[in-house]
Chain A
Amino acid sequence: MKEQLVVVGNGMAGMRAVEELLKLAPDKYAITVFGAEPHPNYNRILLSPVLTGEKQFGEILLNEDAWYAEHGITLYKGKTVVEIDRRKRVVKAADGTSAAYDRLLLATGSNPFILPVPGKDLPGVIGFRDFADVETMLMAAKQYRHAVVIGGGLLGLEAANGLMKQGMKVTVVHLPDALMERQLDAPAAKMLKKSLEDRGLEFVLQGVTQEIIGKNRVQGVRLKDGRELTADLVVMAVGIRPNIELAKKARLYCERGVVVSDTMQSYDPAIYAVGECVQHRGQTYGLVAPLFEQAKVCANHLAHFGISRYEGSITSTKLKVTGIDLFSAGNFSGGDETEEIVLQDAGAGMYKKVVLKDNRIQGAVMYGDTMDGAWYFQLMRDGTDVSNLRDKLLFGQAHLGDAGHGDIKSRVVAMADSTEICGCNGVCKGTIVKSIVDKKLFTLEEVRAHTKASSSCGSCTGLVENLLAATLGGDYSTAPKKKPMCPCTEHTHDEVRQAIRAQNLKTIPALFQALEWKTPDGCNKCRPALNFYLLVAWPGEYVDDNQSRFINERAHANIQKDGTYSVIPRIWGGETTPAELRALAEIAEKYEVPTVHITGGQRIDFLGVPKETLPAMWGDLSAAGFVSGHAYGKAIRTVKTCVGKNWCRFGTQDSTTMGIDLEKMAWGSWTPHKFKLAVSGCPRNCAEATIKDFGVVCVDSGYELHVGGNGGVKVRATDFLCAVKTPEEVKEYCAAFLQVYREEAHYLERTAPWVERVGLAYVKSRVVEDAAGRKALAERFLHSQQFAQIDPWAERAKGTDKHEFIPLKMVG
């Protein structure tokens, strides 16, 4: 027997809750939806392009009539619910239609606030809320000339722009002295106003509406200062108020909105509420991303899973207002206790401001170039100390040359549809935009799943986010307070790492049980991460779980596109001998290796080796004195060197020996992501140490230590850590840096994003300033190496994990 769920309201929040509920418990409820509007659910945010004529109404529908029918949902369009009988658990609409409920979901949205001035009820005075308003505006544009929009916020400007595109002469009346004062500071607001005036809009700032004049229809707007503006149409865009009339009538507890708990439940346990009608922890929301979060939580509880909480949303706003990119987050105004860094290029239509307090970002506002909005927002939420980034902060994430998408910067709107956005997967702009529209995608994750764009290396993520914002008018990715490790859990990486120590968890199954994993055996994202975290926490104790390793690490070689493997033996510090080279050549010939390639890490690579051949080849390599190069792993890779003082006339120290010693110390260690080192013999830096995770630049007085560099997809030069005098110090600092990286970074986080996330100041405090702590870290690293520095190739040549390399059976 199905329970009855009645939904009052057929808008975006309510229908998202129903969609989420159908994913979790499709057969639990017989669902009835009452919608006051005569339409199925549509994307209210896209009413703006419908007004300008860029889209047809049919294109912005989210759930068409067929969808309701398909899921057995009874949809009453154009029926307004006017009464809830909470005792009998029945709702009644204006036309008498009634429905009984076991659970009721209120999603009544909000109403536009109409100024209580004389004349407000004249025909031609409307809000900008629903399709009926848009139809009124389109009809007025055909017959009349003058429009006045009261309210210069986001919605008002969209209305004004739309009416102007439809041929009307529009004046915007705004009470404060600057436009969009909720999202923009004074300079950005000024740039916006100028830009819109250049297009033909007129503005009256600090304008107080006193009266709307007209006989049978609106004819004008009179301001307090006496001015009169001609108006055949007046659009009120001065704010929205939660629509709680029905809830209040039913004596449900309301303040500004229907008051709900973290489970979206009202004070009546049978009644839930989501969306703009809701007040949660004192907040009401008017942007879509928080409402989608609420919908997900509500569905969880309606489905009786009972494990989700809504804790409020921190929002950043990435908007496209009338074609102009805007971004705003946090406290963007600043004040006496804060400082501001500003980058402004009015000629290029660009303005960026970051507000700091104690070297931490409090807020940001951006006009024109919003590519780095997400980065500032992340730094803000993490409370990262940005003192070492200060001089480059406003120039963006300092990626000196992101590979894979040419010279594209932020002007996604101007790009041709055929422009390739994602270089890894070959996805062009047109494909992405079509997917967003046809499949009704809202978030970056959805675009990744449906188009593969931004799903491999991630360097085009900023572009894809901008495309989303451009297509939808805003950025709707949820910005959860904390990001879970993977879909199997609500816990973050840091929480899991802490729990492993605090609760003495020694195996993956024990962890799954203690932390209440949602799946019986995790997924391909969390199992490798957990395997690594346990290994770091319990060196020598934890038994590695082979089946939780990526194929490369399980097979100790790099899988290639045809299922053969690549074999790269370790060549210490990039220095070899004729005997070694001869041995390698003989082995390559013996096994008929198709391609021999010299790697960027100063090693030699055998490509095209069948899996069954690996143990035998490793046996020969082992006999010739070689060990695994770990070129396939989230592990210590290479230490590149230049020849240094031994040979070079410029060499200040023996960089080659330093490099070999570092490699001998560190090889075999598993790390959160691949870890590359280099030692250059002088500041000419021929070993390119300043794009390495740990780079040493020898100088006359000793050794400069550099950290957090990255060649590859996002090129990042290292941060200077400190200078030391002796090779022993170099090794100690290196071991300490490695160990704090291993113990604290998230799995699959290179040192570059890790250092940016925690701040260089933190890394210095652990590795440079705290001498005792540094020694302890270095000791822990060396201790872990006792269990890690075992050549996996030699083991497997002797028969370990035999089953990995041979087929179970040969047939025919």
Chain B
Amino acid sequence: MQAIAKAKTTGWIEIGILDDIPRQGARVVRRLDGDIAVFRTLNDEVFALRDKCPHKGGPLSQGIVHGNKVACPLHDWKINLDTGMAVAPDEGCAARFPVRIDGGKVFLSLIPEKGCPNA
């Protein structure tokens, strides 16, 4: 009860430990109003984006992660994980969600960052 109440006000929830997410890969946080993809890069940085490619809505969580980018599995659009923006000359964005690691545990905020209309 308390955890849910806290999540509702701050938006932050604990989703697992770092090793739950494959390096150079992603896991999905499933929500009724849209999934969130949580990515882990080669050097153990984590990023979270709306799991929906700005092109045709493909699941970014299923793409190949390289550097700080993911390639959408449907039509190969590249999305920057740190900004959520598609790599030029493609235009579009996937909303970013704040995510952090604390003592090996991964915390995700359900309130998206401002700036992307596709939240």
Taking Cβ atoms with an 8 Å cutoff, the residues of A that contact B are 449-450, 456, 519-524, 527-528, 546-552, 554-555, 559, 561, 563, 803, 807-812
Contacts and interface: CB of A to CB of B under 8 A. Distances in A.
B24 interface: yes
Contacts of A523: 66-67
Interface string B74-92: 1110100000000001000
A507 to B, nearest CB: 13
B64 A524 contact: yes
Interface string B30-44: 111101001001110
A811 B107 CA distance: 13
Contact of A521 (B33, B42, B78): B42
A435 B65 CA distance: 30
B37 to A, nearest CB: 10
Nearest to B35: A807
B119 interface: no
Most buried by B among A522, A547, A555: A547
A524 B67 contact: no
B111 interface: no
A807 B73 contact: no
B67 A519 contact: yes
A548 B63 CA distance: 10
B115 interface: no
A434 to B, nearest CB: 14
Contacts of B31: 810-812
A520 B67 contact: yes
Contacts of A456: 75
A811 B29 contact: yes
Contacts of A803: 20, 22, 27
Contacts of B24: 521, 547-548
A807 B29 contact: yes
A749 B72 CA distance: 22
A520 B42 contact: yes
A457 to B, nearest CB: 12
Nearest to A425: B75
A546 B67 CA distance: 16
Contacts of B66: 519, 521-524, 527
A111 B17 CA distance: 68
Contacts of B16: 808-809
Contacts of B32: 812
12 contacts: A520-B67, A521-B41, A524-B63, A524-B66, A547-B25, A547-B64, A807-B29, A807-B30, A808-B28, A808-B29, A809-B29, A810-B29
A559 B22 contact: no
B71 interface: yes
A808 B58 CA distance: 19
Nearest to B52: A563
Nearest to A450: B89
Interface residues of B, number: 38
B112 interface: no
Nearest to B43: A520
Nearest to B16: A808
Contacts of B29: 807-811
Given A550-B73, A561-B56, A521 B62 contact: no
Contact of B73 (A450, A551, A810, A812): A551
B21 interface: yes
A83 to B, nearest CB: 42
B15 to A, nearest CB: 5
B101 interface: no
A589 to B, nearest CB: 26
Contact of B62 (A546, A559, A561, A808): A559
Nearest to B75: A456
Contacts, number: 87
Contact of A809 (B30, B58, B62, B76): B30
A524 B71 contact: yes
B65 A808 contact: no
Contacts of A522: 66
A807 B62 contact: no
A527 B24 CA distance: 11
Nearest to B108: A809
Contacts of B63: 524, 551
Nearest to B78: A524
A397 B109 CA distance: 55
B30 A548 contact: no
Top 5 nearest A-B pairs (CB, nearest first) are: A808-B27, A524-B71, A547-B24, A524-B64, A551-B73
B44 to A, nearest CB: 12
A519 B66 CA distance: 9
A810 B31 CA distance: 6
A555 B23 CA distance: 16
A546 B22 CA distance: 9
B59 interface: yes
A395 B12 CA distance: 65
A522 B65 CA distance: 9
A559 B64 contact: no
A563 B15 contact: no
Contacts of B23: 547
B110 interface: yes
Nearest to B58: A563
A450 B87 CA distance: 11
A678 B27 CA distance: 40
A548 B64 CA distance: 7
B65 A547 contact: yes
Given A522-B66, A563-B58, A811-B29, 18 more contacts: A449-B89, A523-B66, A547-B22, A547-B25, A547-B64, A550-B73, A551-B73, A559-B59, A803-B20, A807-B28, A807-B30, A808-B16, A808-B20, A808-B28, A809-B16, A810-B30, A812-B31, A812-B33
A555 B26 CA distance: 13
A809 B26 CA distance: 12
A450 B13 CA distance: 40
A430 B22 CA distance: 45
A152 to B, nearest CB: 41
B13 A521 contact: no
A744 B24 CA distance: 28
Contact of A524 (B15, B59, B75, B76): B76
Contacts of B62: 551, 554-555, 559, 563
A118 B112 CA distance: 78
Contacts of A551: 62-64, 73
A688 to B, nearest CB: 30
Given A803-B20, A808-B21, A809-B30, A563 B67 contact: no
Contacts of A563: 58-59, 62
Contacts of B33: 812
Contact of A561 (B28, B30, B74): B74
